[in-house]
Amino acid sequence: MFVLEFKVEAKKQQYQAIDDAIRTSQFIRNKCLRYWMDNKGVNKYDLSAYCKILAHDFKFASELNSQARQASAEKAWSSISRFFDNCKKKIPGKKGYPRFKKFSRSVEYKTTGWKLITPKTISFSDKKGIGTLSLKGTWDLAYFKDSDIKRVRLIRRADGYYCQFVLSCEVTEDIKPSGKCIGLDVGLASFYTDQQGSKVDNPIFLRKSEKRLKRLQRRLSKKVKGSSNRQKARQRLAKVHLKVSRQRKDFAVKLARCVVHSNDVIAYEDLRIKNLVKNHCLAKSINDAAWYQFREWIEYFGSKFSKITVAVPPQYTSQNCSNCGETVKKSLSTRTHVCSCGACLDRDENAALNILKLGLSTVGHTGSKASESEILSALATANGGEDTSTLIGVILSKQVSSVNQESSTMRGRGVSKELKLGDSQLIKISYDSTDHTR
């Protein structure tokens, strides 16, 4: 799937109609959730049928497009199925029991209820009165067929309204292989450190905007609840938070594209951010770094450019010596790795070396969103043909089909691999860990 987003320009009455459609979508989603709670054995098809009953009982619900009502029911079932999956997997802690929505910000249409008049004009035909909207953006929808558009979303944000088009097409790009590989160790002092010791500074967007956010928050707290001045103050505060969010995304997208474009194999840690933020001293800094967002874009661009992305287990990557493999215990404040074998290097660089070794040997798994049935064998050893790893993830499993390992040999402490990307591109990656010890 590929998503294109445009800014919406319309009249005040049309904005009010969009808000009405969003409230109706939220109402249907909450009613479907209540229907599931009150009736045992309800499935997603029962929720879709229940939408017709809601349209008959409530006039404002019948004004929304029928497929938009079904999309709201699908949102309710998505939260229910996620709760069931968490229970089956027996994940620790809360299982995410479905909750009622209080502040929804979007309404979704499927293949009916809208029509593209021009590449920059869309018209909605349901009874909500949204009408024709002008789209502001640089994307060219004329390049795609109308049948490629599977969903259309209207989204309300702090700085206005947006329209998203969900396209059922894969975007791939052929680039020449670079013959390079990289191991990434993310951190707080620096955003990431690679096996060469190169660092990228952490942008800390939230920390830089914190002074302004505190001032706007104080002004908001002094306003009378329910007043128009409070709503204006709330809007100003929301815009600053939205700017910080966009800065994080822009940084993650550009950096991930640069990393994937310059390397053929990218190894990174399979971190559980949910567990890391339990440390209240570091939770704000970890959330501000947005490591998981960076990882998602690494995986997306890996699929787009047909590159190999490998997520390795993070256990002991900082404690083990990258030269001899001995475990050297150190606290978080110790930033230099010193081993009895003579290796002396930066702690993050040592971790990046270990991550790259695990990635090249295909130990661990890639991705994090697939079920067990989607686990695929990624690479096989040349001598016995035994599987050495599995790939997990919808995005990354598609890469496996275009990756064939031709040979794998160990030379000293180094690793040499030949990987075939696509049908005709053959690259050879050589790496020697002893070249990076100090």
DSSP letters of 252-308? HHHHHHHHHHH-SEEEEE---HHHHTTSTTTHHHHHHHTHHHHHHHHHHHHHHTT-E
Model pLDDT, residue 362: 67
What gap in Å lies between CA 230 and CA 410, rounded to an integer?
A: 66
SS3 for 351?
A: helix
Query: Which pair of tokens denotes residue 127?
Result: 């009874």
Model pLDDT, residue 269: 92
Query: Strand pairing partners for 390?
Result: 377
| Whole-number Cα distances in Å, 226 to 101, 157, 217, 219 | 20, 20, 16, 15
- Give per-residue pLDDT as tens, 161-211: 999 999 988 778 888 888 889 999 999 989 999 988 899 999 999 999 999
- Give per-residue pLDDT as tens, 239-282: 999 999 999 999 999 999 999 999 989 999 999 888 899 888 99
- With 0-12 / 13-18 / 19 or more C-beta atoms within 10 angstroms meaning exposed / middle / buried, residue 92 is exposed
The residue ranges of the chain whose pLDDT is under 70 are: 362-438
| Whole-number Cα distances in Å, 253 to 263, 301, 398 | 16, 9, 21
Model pLDDT, residue 428: 47
Q: Cβ contacts of residue 44 below 8 Å, gap of 6+?
A: 73, 74, 77, 81
What gap in Å lies between CA 228 and CA 226, rounded to an integer?
A: 7
Closest by CA to 275, choosing from 290, 266, 260, 286, is: 286
What gap in Å lies between CA 89 and CA 164, rounded to an integer?
A: 33
55, containing H or E segment: helix 44-57
| Whole-number Cα distances in Å, 18 to 12, 57, 89, 104, 402 | 10, 22, 39, 12, 44
What gap in Å lies between CA 83 and CA 87, rounded to an integer?
A: 6
Phi, psi of 193 (to 5 degrees): -130, 135
SS3 for 137?
A: coil
What gap in Å lies between CA 384 and CA 380, rounded to an integer?
A: 8
Query: Which pair of tokens denotes residue 336?
Result: 């230099």
Q: Are 348 and 323 in contact (CB under 8 A)?
A: no
